[in-house]
Amino acid sequence: MMTLPASSTQHVGLHAVHGIVHPTADQHLEGRKQLSTSVLQGSSILVTGGTGSFGKAFIRHALDNLAPKRLVIFSRDELKQYEVRQLFNDDPRLRWFIGDIRDERRLLRAMHNVDYVVHAAALKQVDTAEYNPFEFVKTNVLGSQNVIEACIDSGVKRVVALSTDKASSPINLYGATKLTADKLFVTGNHYAAAYDTRFAVVRYGNVMGSRGSVIPFFRKLAESGASLPITDLRCTRFFITLPQAVKMVVDTFDMMQGGELLVPRIPSMKVTDLAQAIAPGAAMHDVGLRPGEKLHEEMISPEEGRRAVIVHGGKYYVIQPDLATWGYQPPVDGVPVPEGFHYRSDSNDQWHSQDDIRKIIESDL
């Protein structure tokens, strides 16, 4: 990887390549496909927030497909660590660190001889953030900077940070902290320009089957014959499955130079269609948007769209850094998006039908 002196600047342009393949709505389960090779193969990996829904799915994928030398789980809840240890039968490749990303020294200890880091730790509840704003700042912003510092000082090769659609044009405190974290990780490549460490970000929408998912909540209400509460009957959302999210992170490690913000090209769905797919014929009622909640979600703003290209045969968008000092080059397979492009759940060109949603729900998420 070429590294430019920190004093130089490079403005990123666009490369156009013809022959893009547009994915279909039927590809929503392709995250289950095993990768043949990956830079993660046989390496030492650390996952912050590794006992959450994504962390558990990543652990399973890594143990089954990546033959890790060591997989370090860094999280702050000892009970969840105990439960996940039981889930994976105390696999000897797993290492367990109790710690908080607010504690940089603990991160440094955990990252000793680690090759790759997945940063999944965050506070995530939108309404909770509105009542506890600085706690979210301390974890999502200051904690992210601690991860960046520790990765550089420990000689970690590549880092992928997980983000959210709420970081695009944020209207709530949670989204604002995640946007700040995204900026920290992208610009962390400036900070690390003279070192080997590189950072990238993945941004995706709601995760089907994750902890706190609406699916079991709707099922329970439907079984009792109750009406399903919908924040607004017009709401649309991006949804991704856990296998898709894991595969996207692994793909990012394999394709990244540092500075990319990857967004999956996935279908949208109406929240009412999700409800009817879970409980066909159930009554629904409008309860109104919660504080800080959007009617429609966005993953790429019009401003970000000016720096976006489509890569990987139409599978992902890459929001490129607009100023790079570490040798970033536009992806050779990058296809520029149209002028004025933005990516919102209500104006998406791909949609899941109720049958599509039902098929996903009936699969093992």
Residues annotated as catalytic (active site), given as ranges: 166
- CB 119 within 8 Å of CB 199: no
Strand partners, 198: 158
What count of other Cβ atoms lies within 10 Å of the Cβ of residue 312? 20
**Rounded CA separation 329/286 (Å):** 48
Which residue is listed with tokens 């769209």? 305
Instruction: Name the DSSP class of 324.
Output: B
344 HSE (CA, 13 A, CB side): 15
Query: Which string of DSSP letters, residue by residue, matches 152-193?
Result: HHHT-SEEEEEEEGGGSS--SHHHHHHHHHHHHHHHHHHHTT
Tell me phi and psi for residue 9, to 5 degrees.
-130, 155
Three-class SS state of 87: helix
